Amino acid sequence: MLSLLDLRARIDAGTLTPHGAVGLAREAIAARDDAVRAFACLDPRPAVAQEGPLAGIAVGIKDIIDTADLPTGMGSPIYAGWRPKADAPVVARLRRLGAVPLAKTTTTPFAFLDPTATRNPRHSGHSPGGSSAGSAAAVGAGMLPLALGTQTGGSVIRPAAFCGVVGVKPSFRLLPTVGVKCYSWALDTLGLFAARVGDAARALALLAERPGIDLVADTGAPRIGVVVPDFCDEAEADALAALQRAARAAERAGARVHDLSLAPLFGEAFACHPVIQDYEARQALAWEYAHHREALPPLLRAALDAAQDVGTDAYDAARRTAHRARRSLKDVFGEGDVDVILTLSAPGAAPEGLASTGDSRFNRLWTLMGVPCVTVPVETTGGGLPLGVQVIARFGDDGRALAAARLIERAVG
């Protein structure tokens, strides 16, 4: 895979130019994307900055994020060829840092569940996940060193795990969602994909203008609580084994590791996620539903049909439960002898076939809580499919989540 830090080190050493680094990405795309199908469109003549901390870094932009020089199609024929007049702020920030938004990556339509044509770069017969399918697959295939995605349920963490890359869902609103097609304003979160934890930490620190995210020192003995939520359907044996392998590796590296149980309130909050998501989605996509319902793909159309019956009383009650759970999660970190939580990224490896993007049940609670999440590749199944684990820290402690993820990454080799 292309590493952001490796490319930048070569540029700083004078052995690679920014044009040359972007050229490596373009060559990889030409060689591999016919099989992976990660891109909605490419910039044929990108402007390449010579200065900036991300000069020479080609970036994939999920195709629900506005770009002024490339179409933003939302994964839907309703927006085919649509050209925003302005970059989303996160894209403008990338350009100021010297990065090259080289391509729009595929998204499930409006970032819901109906799959794209993108294939898993590790096994073409399996799903890359979703909704940020193209971003995860492009990094996993070694075509880009960095890509942006979004998460409303599990749309960064899950595809990152399926494609064997690092995925980061930052603290809620750490990165601006202005210029991103909304599905749920209380849940939508910008995230990113990279080859390694260090690459992701550097990119997030620069995008958020918070250098401390990349400077959190390894504590040497982080306190890690291992969580297997009892309010979710059980995970597959391979995923549980990967979680235990990561926990034991972290312990050997000096971490203090113990099992952690969550109070029943978190199960109640987990059940509130779809209520909040559906209530807000029926408003966020009201125009598309009213004027183009038949052009919506089947899973999204059915979800919006059902969402018309979600009332304000249920929505307000769900928000109150979520708020209580967020306050209680502060106590888990504050009183539970825990610096970070280690849990599952997905129920198992990427599912076979392209009819499903997989299940987000091990992601939705943490999205609702607004806390930073990092998925780290741990191992592969006998069939060569990646398995990852998810590291979670308290709200605003993105640097600690990344530091613990880096410890696990090193520990598992």
Which residue numbers are catalytic? 62, 131, 155
Amino acid at 36: V
Strands 166-169 and 373-380: antiparallel
Q: How far is CA 382 from CA 195, 239, 305, 369, 385, in A?
A: 22, 13, 41, 34, 7
Amino acid at 35: A
Other Cβ atoms less than 10 A from the Cβ of 60: the count is: 33
For residue 351, which phi and psi values (nearest 5 degrees)? -65, 150
Tokens of 227: 């969580």
First to last CA, the chain: 16
Neighbour tally for 388: CB within 10 Å: 29
**250 vs 185: CA distance, rounded Å:** 36
Contact 372, 184 (CB under 8 A): no
Of the candidates 1, 396, 19, 27, the one whose C-alpha atom is nearest the C-alpha of residue 198 is 1
